Structure 1
C-alpha cells in the first residue's frame, strides 16, 4: 500500500475517534452509531472525502478547490500561485465605499485570486446586493456565518450586450461554501461597488439568496439556504458549467431556477450538476425548474414537495439519477411537471434511472435516453446507489467545524 493511502487511512481513523469523543461527551447513547454513519457518508461522498478527512483542513483550505466534481470541474483557478488570503473581521457593509475587513471589500476590491475566510461567528446584513469577482472563494468553514436580513449574493458582469458578452466576458471561477443565507429581500435600483472596483448602477434585484447571471464555472457547496422572498438560487442568462452540491434547501416556495425565461435561447447551452443536496422540509417547487438547458440531478434527498420537485419548460433535458424521492403524505405525489404547451412534450428528455421512490412518489418519464452528462475526467464522479442517499446527504448544509474536524 502506498504511503499516502496509509496516511489517509490513519487520518480517517483518527478523525472517527475524535468524532466519537465529541459525541460521547454530549450524548453517549448513540454516539458510536452516529459517528459511523457520518464517516460512511463522508467516504461515499466524492467531494467530502477529498477534504474532510484532512485533520489540517484549516491550514490547507485551498485544497477544497480541487475537490469539486460535476460541470464546474476542478476549481484549480482558485488556488495556487498568487492566491491572496483575506479575512473578514467586520460584519458591517457599505455598498459604495466598502471598508477593509468587510466582506464586500474582499469580494470586490482585491484584484486577482482571493480566498475569503471569517475571523469569528458573524451575521452580515448587506446594504445592497453583493457582486462577487471572478477567482473568488468565500469560505465560511470554522464559524457560524450568516448572510441574512436584506440583500444577498450575485455573480454578475454588468453589460447591455448580453448575447455577445456571454461568449467572451463571463464572471467565472467562484466558490461559495459554508454559509447560512436566508431572509433575503428584493432591492430597488441602486449604486453598488462592481467587482472591477468601480461604483455602478444596478437595477431592480429580486430577493434571491444567490443569483448567477451570465456566469461560468461556479461551485456552490455546503450552504444552508432558506426563507427568501423570491427564490434560493437562480442560474440565468447563459450561465453554464455550474455544480450545486451538499446544500440544504428548506422552508421555501421557489427553490432553484435554471434558465432566465422561455424566450432566452442562449440558456440551451446551460449545464448544471445538482448533487448530494437535501431538499426540505417545506419546499414547494423548483428543485430544480429548468428552461432550455441540461441538468444532471444525482444522489439528492427530496423530503416532500408541494406542487412538484423537478419541472421545466421549453424542452429541457434532465437526467435524474439515483435520487431518493419521498412524496408528501397528501397532495401531489408526482415528481415532475411540464409547464408549457409548445412542441411535443413526449420529446422532452425527462429521464429517470435508478431513482428510489417512497410514500407513493412517481416519475413520468419522457424522451428516454439522450440525456447523458458526458463529463470529462475532471468532472466525473461515481454515482452511489440511491439506498445510501440518506447517509450521503446527512451532512448537507453549512458544517459545524472544529480546528481538526469538519
Structure 2
C-alpha cells in the first residue's frame, strides 16, 4: 500500500525528510549537537516547521510510539480563528468545531494568540492533533480536555490553567453526536479508556483538581517536555484501587520539569507500569513519586532536588500490609540533591521493554537540566526555528 501524506507525498518520503532535517539542522541556524533531548532534535532544527508541521508526529518516543497514524493520506487541516465556545452548537472556526465536526484525521492549528474558556469539557476525537506552535494559546478559566475512549491523539504546545469542575450536562462530542457527561472534577487533561496518546510541550498549572489523569484502562501514553508547576495533585496514573483493568496501563514520563510549588503525584501510580526518566524535580511538598496497588515504577536518570525544609523522601506508598516491600520500585542512575532519597523495593523487575518505535536514549542525570530547559509550551519564532 502506498500511504500518502496530506500533500500527496508518500509517507515514507515524509519520514525520510524528518531524518534529513535532523542531519542538516546545523545549516538552519541551530547546532543540533546542543543539549536538546531526542524528541526536540527530531523537529526543532527545521526552520520550515510551519510548512512541515506533520514532521512532529515522527518524533514521539516512549509507550505512545510514533504517532504516524495521525499523518498520511486524508489529513484535514483546520485553523482555529475564534476563541469562543458553544458546547451544544459549535461555530465554524472554534476549537470545539474542529474536534467534533470534522471526521477522520484532523490537524488543528491556531491563527493567533488566544485564551479559550470552554463552557463544557472538550471531548477530543481519535486521530486528532491539536498543535499550538506559533501562537500563545491558553485553555483557562472554564472546562478543559477529556479524551474518552479514543486513540491516536497528540496535544502539543498549549497552556492549561485554572480549569474548573463542571456540573453534569449535555455536550457535543466526536462525530457531532450529543453526549451526556457526568460531574467533571476540573482536571486539565483527563484520559478515560484511551490509548496511544502523546502529550508534549504543554504548560500546566493551578487547576481545581489534577493536571493530568490517565485512568480506566488508558495505556500507551507518553508525557514529555511538559512544565508542571504551582499545583497540589499533579499527575494520576490509574483510576482507583479497585479498577484492576489499569494493570495493563503503560505510561512514559520523560523530559518534564516538575515545579516550583508542586506538592505530590509526579506521578501517583496504581496497578500499572510507569517509566519515569530524565525529568527535573524542583522540590515537592508531600512526595514526588507515589502509588498503591502494587504498581511497577522505574525511575531512571532523573534529577531530584529536595526542598530546603520538609520531606526529603522522593517516594510514598499506600499499602496496608507489608508497606509495599514486594513492589518493584527501582531507582537507576538518578541524582539526588539537598538530601533527597528514594526507597527502592522489589527484585528489580523488568525495564520498559520498548519496541523500536518506542525506544530512546536516556541521558545521564547531570544533563537533565539542559534537556528540560525548553519544557512547557514553546514560544516559536514566526520566521525561523522553534
- With the length of structure 1 as denominator, give the TM-score of the two structures: 0.89
- Number of the residue aligned with 2:108: 116
Match of 1:90 in 2: 82
Match of 2:35 in 1: 41
SS in structure 1 of the partner of residue 99 of structure 2: helix
Shift of 1:340: 2.2
Aligned twin of 1:55:
47
**1:7-406 equivalence runs, <5 A:** 8-16=22-30, 40-42=34-36, 45-157=37-149, 171-342=150-321, 345-403=324-382, 404-406=384-386
Residues 212-221 or 336-345, more deviating: 336-345
Give me the whole-angstrom Cα distance separating, in 2, the residues matched to 1:7 and 1:379: 20
C-alpha change, 1:3 and 1:57, in structure 2 (3 Å) is closer
What is the CA–CA distance in structure 1 between the aligned matches of 2:60 and 2:188, rounded to whole Å? 21
Equivalences, count: 370
More helix by share: 1
CA displacement at 1:7 relative to structure 2: 6.7
- Displacement of 1:51 in angstroms is 0.4
1:369 is paired with a residue whose SS is coil
Aligned to 1:21: none
Q: CA deviation at 1:64?
A: 0.4
Q: CA offsets per residue over residues 145-200 of structure 1, 9 Å max, x none?
A: 0000010001014xxxxxxxxxxxxx100000000000000000011011121111
Change (3 A) 1:41 1:97: same
RMSD over equivalenced CA pairs, Å: 1.7
For the 8 Å contact 2:22–2:41, the answer to whether it is kept is: no
Q: Is the 8 A contact 1:41 1:393 kept in 2?
A: no
How many angstroms apart in 2 are the aligned matches of 1:178 and 1:353? 30
Separation in 2, partners of 1:233, 1:381: 23
Distance 1:99 1:39, change over 3 A: farther
Query: How far apart are the structure 2 equivalents of 1:7 and 1:347?
Result: 46
C-alpha change, 1:5 and 1:134, in structure 2 (3 Å) is closer
How far did residue 371 of structure 1 move? 3.5
Q: 1:39, CA displacement in angstroms?
A: 6.3
Q: Is the Cα–Cα contact under 8 Å of residues 314 and 342 in structure 1 kept in the other structure?
A: no
Unaligned runs of 5+ in 2: 1-15
Please report how far the alpha carbon of residue 55 of structure 1 lies from its aligned counterpart in structure 2 after TM superposition: 1.1
How far off is 1:58 after superposition? 0.6
Deviation of the 1:3 alpha carbon: 11
Aligned to 1:33: none
Distance 1:7 1:272 in 2: 28
Aligned equivalents of 1:3, 1:114: Cα separation in 2: 21
Which position in structure 1 is the counterpart of 2:4? none
Secondary structure of 1:347 counterpart: coil
Deviation of the 1:9 alpha carbon: 5.0
Once residues 145 and 9 of structure 1 are traced to their aligned partners in structure 2, the CA distance between those partners, rounded to angstroms, is 31
Query: How far apart are 1:10 and its partner, in Å?
Result: 4.5
Query: SS where residue 41 of structure 1 aligns?
Result: coil
Secondary structure of the residue aligned to 1:85 is strand
